């Protein structure tokens, strides 16, 4: 079992849950919704005309876009939450509208009221195969009609403007299919509608493209079909349906087409900004379903270039944050993607983005999440020896040490980055550079809790990464080198106060581990009483629980204690005395190190010629403590 790999992979980004656009629509969104709803299906939205560009087109649609002054005043006086129908309690059928429906729900209802009538509403309510087929057939005919009219009259928007509005409505009419994925998705693929839908990603009107993107985003949501009763549709069947849809999307080059549209959309326009948001959401949905597709996404498209450019934006907003989250996802446990990042000078770009947080904190929670995702991306990349070298050449260690000294929010993240950069034999040079950059003083000041600021919620995580850094320093710094002597001196100064701190952390970790051990023993006893076997799989799961419950911290602390005890006789005597006061001995440390040794992956990581493996180091430390 590769324990290093288990605990060196960054956690999922803080924002890994499905993102949503802000609940309150902007004035532009409200205006567009009002125009679409009032004018009916034969009228194209103002943004559609805008994208089709010529004065003649604007003239054709002027009657559909110009509003009375009285209407403009009403638009500025909407009810709370920006709900255009807040004061309309119900329609002729008694359906309640006010204060609860989202824009998307209202759009769907309006589409069905205007286009489908009673028959369409019945299809939506029943969500049966016949209703699905009618929706798909209507979409196919509408798309073909629009394509035909655009081909015949490319320079005369008046000839195809009605069919464009019909196509807009037909695409949005596919949104309810997400409520019945088991019925709808196989039919969506079988009928060829998926291919036709994806083909519209190359449509001349970007507003049509945005409609398609929004529909695909909704259809690929991992929670599709959750509204159905459990007995009608189980989790497994939803997963199979989603798999069928995603495979159909991939067969039609969905990834390449989406990335091409990222550069096509202009984010200064509200509708285009939402389109970019939904494209990023589709990537998150697809990678959440199958993480291995991230390698294909990076290899076949220019997504990495776009994301790296996007996170360098000077102003922070929703899509910049989403781009950072996607970058973090792309780099998790994917060596090819990390090496591609290195080829594109991505490490340098990331460091430039992070350098702005050396002297200032993020302005709000969203920017804090953005900063953490960029830091996590760097940590993931540092799992590769090639990127450790690049990071060192770009003076990344020096930047992290400066952040450590500034004591801003970035301090905790810089400790984590240093832990990743200095780990393993490939981190040896980084360890020496860290000491030369005078990082020891600031690191141990944080470790001892001597910061003037109150302890942050990330204090325990800071401690864990600090222990990781010290462990790497002891493993990698050459024997009798000036850097190693300076490190050992830190444990002697202050009457061995740092050794006492280690023993304090050890006691806390041991207490947590004892609780977990009791829980595991009770579970094991209950399984045996019920005649259930306890095999290797159960033992592995319990070991992972122990690691998470304090064993990992205990192993790291005892590894450090064993090293410093072997290096300095005074430290050895002090450790023995402190353990004796609590009725413990060096044998307790030996037991923990033996478990550590037995679970170290023998072939894990790249090993330099002549260097000792982690297991060999542990065996030497155990022999020393046994003889002490």
Other C-beta atoms lying within 10 Å of the C-beta of residue 479:
7
pLDDT at 106: 53
* Residue bearing tokens 């290899």: 299
pLDDT above 60: residue 107: no
On whether residue 195 sits in a domain, the answer given is yes
Query: From residue 476, how far is each of 196, 210, 384, 470, 482 by CA, in Å?
Result: 58, 53, 17, 10, 13
Mean pLDDT on 543-568: 95
Average pLDDT taken over every residue of the chain: 82
Q: Which of 242, 266, 285 is the last residue of a domain?
A: 285
Report which DSSP code applies to 90: B
Q: How many domains does the chain have?
A: 2
Q: Does residue 84 contact residue 33 with C-beta atoms inside 8 Å? A: yes
On whether residue 222 sits in a domain, the answer given is yes
Categorize the per-residue pLDDT at 104 as very low, low, confident or very high, splitting at 50, 70 and 90: low
Q: Which of 285, 300, 326 is the last residue of a domain?
A: 285
Proportion of the chain in helix, strand, coil states, percent, rounded to 5:
75, 0, 25
59: containing domain:
15-285
On whether residue 98 sits in a domain, the answer given is yes
Q: Does residue 85 contact residue 106 with C-beta atoms inside 8 Å? A: yes
Categorize the per-residue pLDDT at 69 as very low, low, confident or very high, splitting at 50, 70 and 90: very low
Contacts of residue 622, Cβ cutoff 8 Å, sequence gap at least 6: 562, 590, 593, 594, 597
On whether residue 502 sits in a domain, the answer given is no
Q: Does residue 462 contact residue 453 with C-beta atoms inside 8 Å? A: no
Mean pLDDT on 451-467: 69
pLDDT at 508: 94
Of 11-20, 169-178, 346-355, the range with the lowest mean pLDDT is 11-20
Categorize the per-residue pLDDT at 22 as very low, low, confident or very high, splitting at 50, 70 and 90: low
On whether residue 320 sits in a domain, the answer given is no
Mean pLDDT on 522-540: 86
On whether residue 432 sits in a domain, the answer given is no
Q: Which of 285, 316, 336 is the last residue of a domain?
A: 285
491, HSE (Cβ side, Cα atoms, 13 Å): 25
Q: For 319-348, how does the pLDDT look when each residue is reduced to its tens digit (9 = 90+)?
A: 999 999 999 999 998 999 999 999 999 999
Mean pLDDT on 448-455: 58
Q: What is the pTM of this model?
A: 0.78
Backbone angles phi, psi at 90, to 5 degrees: -160, 160
On whether residue 400 sits in a domain, the answer given is no
Tell me what percent of the residues of the chain surpass a pLDDT of 70: 75
pLDDT at 535: 83
Cα–Cα distance measured from residue 288 to residue 369, given in angstroms and rounded to the nearest whole number: 19
pLDDT above 50: residue 78: no
Categorize the per-residue pLDDT at 128 as very low, low, confident or very high, splitting at 50, 70 and 90: confident
On whether residue 504 sits in a domain, the answer given is no
pLDDT above 90: residue 113: no
pLDDT above 90: residue 223: no
Cα–Cα distance measured from residue 486 to residue 479, given in angstroms and rounded to the nearest whole number: 12
pLDDT at 12: 41
Q: For 141-172, how does the pLDDT look when each residue is reduced to its tens digit (9 = 90+)?
A: 999 999 999 899 888 888 888 998 999 999 99
Mean pLDDT on 21-40: 46
pLDDT above 50: residue 120: no
Query: From residue 29, how far is each of 46, 78, 409, 442 by CA, in Å?
Result: 11, 13, 36, 50
């Amino acid at each position: 079992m590769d324990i290093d790999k288990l605990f060196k992979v960054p956690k999922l980004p803080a924002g890994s849950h499905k993102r949503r656009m802000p609940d309150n629509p902007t004035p532009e969104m409200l205006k567009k919704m009002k125009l679409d709803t009032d004018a009916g299906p034969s009228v194209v939205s103002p943004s559609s005309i805008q994208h089709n560009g010529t004065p003649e087109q604007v003239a054709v649609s002027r009657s559909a876009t110009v509003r009375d002054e009285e209407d403009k005043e009403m638009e500025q006086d909407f009810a709370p939450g920006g709900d255009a129908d807040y004061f309309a309690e119900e329609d002729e059928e008694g359906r309640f509208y006010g204060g609860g429906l989202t824009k998307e729900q209202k759009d769907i209802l309006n589409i069905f009221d205007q286009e489908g009538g009673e028959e369409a509403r019945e299809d939506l309510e029943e969500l049966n195969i016949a209703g699905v087929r009618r929706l798909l057939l209507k979409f196919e005919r509408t798309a073909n009609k629009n394509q035909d009219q655009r081909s015949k009259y490319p320079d005369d928007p008046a000839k195809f403007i009605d069919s464009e509005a019909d196509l807009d409505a037909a695409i949005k009419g596919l949104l309810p299919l997400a409520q019945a994925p088991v019925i709808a998705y196989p039919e969506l693929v079988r009928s060829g509608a998926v291919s036709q839908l994806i083909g519209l990603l190359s449509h001349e009107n970007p507003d049509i493209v945005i409609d398609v993107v929004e529909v695909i985003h909704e259809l690929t949501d991992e929670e599709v079909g959750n509204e159905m009763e459990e007995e009608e549709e189980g989790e497994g069947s939803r997963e199979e349906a989603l798999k069928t849809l995603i495979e159909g999307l991939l067969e039609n080059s969905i990834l390449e087409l989406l990335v091409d549209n990222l550069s096509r959309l202009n984010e200064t326009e509200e509708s285009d900004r939402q389109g970019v948001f939904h494209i990023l959401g589709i990537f998150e949905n697809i990678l959440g379903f199958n993480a291995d597709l991230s390698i294909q996404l990076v290899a076949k498209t220019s997504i990495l270039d776009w994301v790296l450019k996007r996170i360098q934006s000077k102003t922070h907003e929703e899509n910049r944050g989403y781009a950072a989250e996607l970058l973090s996802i792309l780099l998790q446990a994917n060596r090819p993607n990390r090496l591609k990042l290195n080829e594109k000078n991505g490490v340098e770009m990331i460091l430039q983005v992070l350098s702005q947080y050396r002297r200032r904190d993020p302005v709000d929670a969203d920017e804090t999440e953005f900063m953490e995702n960029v830091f996590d991306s760097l940590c993931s990349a540092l799992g590769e020896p090639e990127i450790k070298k690049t990071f060192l050449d770009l003076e990344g260690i020096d930047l992290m040490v400066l952040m450590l000294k500034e004591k801003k929010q970035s301090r905790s993240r810089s400790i984590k980055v240093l832990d990743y950069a200095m780990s393993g034999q490939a981190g040896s040079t980084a360890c020496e550079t860290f000491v030369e950059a005078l990082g020891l003083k600031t690191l141990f000041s944080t470790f001892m809790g001597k910061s003037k600021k109150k302890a942050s919620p990330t204090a325990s995580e800071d401690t864990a990464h600090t222990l990781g850094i010290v462990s790497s320093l002891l493993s990698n710094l050459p024997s009798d080198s000036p850097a190693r002597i300076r490190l050992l001196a830190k444990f002697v100064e202050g009457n061995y106060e740092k050794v006492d701190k280690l023993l304090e952390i050890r006691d806390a970790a041991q207490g947590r581990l004892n609780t977990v051990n009791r829980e595991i023993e009770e579970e094991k006893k209950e399984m045996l009483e019920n005649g259930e076997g306890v095999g290797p799989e159960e033992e592995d799961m319990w070991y992972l629980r122990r690691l998470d419950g304090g064993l990992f911290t205990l192993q790291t602390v005892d590894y450090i204690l064993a090293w410093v005890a072997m290096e300095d006789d005074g430290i050895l005597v002090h450790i023995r005395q402190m353990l004796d006061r609590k009725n413990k001995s060096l044998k307790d440390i030996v037991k923990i190190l033996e478990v550590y040794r037995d679970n170290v992956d023998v072939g894990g990581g790249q090993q330099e010629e002549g260097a000792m493996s982690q297991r060999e180091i542990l065996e030497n430390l155990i022999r020393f403590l046994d003889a002490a």
